[in-house]
Structures are given as C-alpha cells and as structure tokens.
Structure 1
Amino acid sequence: MLFIASLVINSFAIWLAAEWITGISLRLPGDSIGADAIVIVLIGLVFTLVNMVVKPVVKLLSLPLVILTLGLFLLVINALMLLLTEWVTSYFDYGIDIAGFWAAFWGALLIAIVNFVLGMVVPGKR
C-alpha cells in the first residue's frame, strides 16, 4: 500500500513540476486524458523505482558530502535521480524531458516539497 501511495504522489509531483518548472516537459500521447494519465503514472513508476533502488546507494556513497554540506547535497542527489529518470524514459516514445541540471534541481525541489506535504496527509507515509 505504501508503494502505491508513493507512486501516486510521485506521479502527481512530476506532473506538477512539468507544469510549473520551465525546462521540464512531458512527452505525452495527447490522444486522451486517460492515455496521458497512464503515461504520467508510468513516469512516476520509473521515478519511484529509481528512488527505491538507486537513491539509497548514492546517498550512502555520498554520505561524507552530505555531512559536509549539512544535508544540502541531498538536493543535488534528488536532481540526479530526476535526470536518471529522464535518461531511462528517453528510450521510449513517451517520457520526461529536462533542459539541464538547474531545471532538474528546481523540479526535484518541488517534487520533494510535494512529497513532504502529501506524505503528511497520507496515512502510514512518513
């Protein structure tokens, strides 16, 4: 159940980042709202899996930098996870396009804020 909540929240956060952050866009089919929603959920699935599998390893390996920067390097790690999601989805017709590191940085910051706020509302996700 926690995985589904993370998937829904990440999908919504990615859609919101694509709407609000200049330099982040989604490649959607545009046929119907349902098809677009499915693609957004699939992008959210890739992002959720990247955060579950790759992010803990990267956080562990970069622990000295995280400590040295008092946790600010975690924002860079979040941006790199978003760029990794872009790279994975670049092999498909539909996915996410990010113009550069700074767009990924601001998008990752927005996604982290949305995850924090919605994580407080969803029971069991803290």
Structure 2
Amino acid sequence: MKILVRWLLLAAALLLVAYLYPGVAITSFGSAMIAAFVIGVFNTLLRPILVLLTLPVTLLTLGLFLFVINALMFWAAAQVLDGFAVNGFVAALIGSLIYSLIGMVIDVAMERLFSRPSAA
C-alpha cells in the first residue's frame, strides 16, 4: 500500500513540476505515472553505476556532480517516453531539482503517515 501511495504522489509531483516549470511537459496523469515509474527504475538501476563511474569527478566537485547525474536520469526518462518532455539539459537539471525536493517532502510525509507508534 505504501509503495502505491508513494508512486501516485510522485506522479502528482511530476505534474506539479510541469506546472511550475515550463521546460518540463507532461500530457496526462497516466503519462506522469509511467514517467515516475521509469525515473524510479533508472534511479534504482543506472544511478548507482553512474555514481560509481563518476566518483572521482563527484569527489572533486564535492558532490555537486550528483546533480548532473540526477538531471541525466530525468532527461533519459523523458527521451524514452511519449507524453513526458524536457527541453534540454538545463530544464532537466531544474526539473530534477524540483522533483527531488517534492520527493523529499513526500518521503517525510509518508514516513510520518505510515510510522507505527512504539509500544513503550
């Protein structure tokens, strides 16, 4: 149940990103759901490999290169899907930053919503 709610909220977050920033476009909620799923898969499978391969650059930039990796994941999802478009790398960077911030808020809210009270 928690995964389904999180997925729906992240899809809504993508619609909010498209509303807030004109460089990102999503045609429907269905497209947003598919895009949220694909972004999640890319972040699960590809992101760790990219982080490992770019570790020297990431260390040299004190971690700022991770923003570039996030933008690449966001942009790659837009390239693979119909109904989800990003207008260039800068739009992917800004869109991924907004999406990440909303995602953090969702994660905190989900943790508080689904946390179990302690028995003690």
TM-score where L is the length of structure 1: 0.79
Please name the residue that 2:8 is paired with: 8
Please name the residue that 1:38 is paired with: 30
Question: 1:18 Cα deviation (Å)?
Answer: 0.8
CA–CA separation in structure 1 for the residues paired with 2:3 and 2:47: 15
1:78 equivalent to 2:48? Answer: no
Question: 1:51 Cα deviation (Å)?
Answer: 1.1
CA–CA separation in structure 1 for the residues paired with 2:70 and 2:16: 16
CA–CA separation in structure 1 for the residues paired with 2:11 and 2:101: 14
CA–CA separation in structure 1 for the residues paired with 2:89 and 2:107: 26
Contact 1:10 / 1:48 at 8 angstroms: preserved in 2?
Answer: no
Question: 1:119 Cα deviation (Å)?
Answer: 1.0
Deviations 1:36-72 (A, max 9, x none): 3222211211111111111111111111111111111
CA–CA separation in structure 2 for the residues paired with 1:5 and 1:63: 33
Please name the residue that 1:101 is paired with: 89
Greater Rg by CA: 2
Give, as a single letter, the amino acid of the residue that structure 2 aligns with 1:84: A
Contact 1:6 / 1:48 at 8 angstroms: preserved in 2?
Answer: no
Cα 1:22/1:38, change in 2 over 3 Å? closer
Contact 1:83 / 1:98 at 8 angstroms: preserved in 2?
Answer: yes
Question: 1:95 Cα deviation (Å)?
Answer: 2.0
CA RMSD of aligned residues (A): 2.0
Please name the residue that 1:31 is paired with: none
TM-score where L is the length of structure 2: 0.82
Q: Which runs of 4+ in 1 moved over 3 A?
A: 1-6
Contact 1:21 / 1:107 at 8 angstroms: preserved in 2?
Answer: yes
Q: Which runs of 5+ in 1 are unaligned?
A: 29-35
